[in-house]
Amino acid sequence: MEIVIQPVSERSIDSLVALIGELARFEHLDPPDEAAQARLRADALRAAPPFEAYLALADGEPVGCVTLIAAYSTFAARPKLYIEDLFVRDGHRGRGVGERLFDFCVGLARARGCARLEWNALRWNTAAHRFYERRKGRQVDEWVWYELDPSAG
């Protein structure tokens, strides 16, 4: 099986949207509605997109994706890269696709001189924990992850 990682393009944006819908269902969340899908398409294809998106193709078929956000570490005074989503379709897990996507991210972080590559995983997703720990990822227990929906008032 040949695995190729390529940036999302106008031609492949629908595959990214479909994969993100599958990821949402895997995480027991509602998938993006039509308005969110339209925003996702528009944002991904802007001249200066707010995130980077890549597809993993196995023998030409889209089977996984990764989305990344560039950030900056003020303490290290260097950029850092954040993995927002890394997903592989169910039938293709355990076949090296996730490793290729993750290694691709590591390569980007190295090439850009990043201080860190960061991500999070759901507490219940122990398969993801094992995957990242095999790749030398470490849990950071000193920090507590917070979020806030600014539209919630």
**Active-site annotation, residues:** 132
**94 phi and psi, to 5 degrees?**
80, 10
DSSP-derived secondary structure letter, 53? E
CA end-to-end distance (rounded Å), the chain: 49
Written as six digits, the tokens of 73 are 């570490």
Q: Name the residue among 135, 60, 69 with its Cα closest to residue 92.
A: 60
E-strand ranges in the chain read: 3-7, 52-58, 61-73, 78-88, 116-118
CB atoms within 10 A of CB 102: 20
Please, which residues bridge with residue 82 across strands? 69, 118
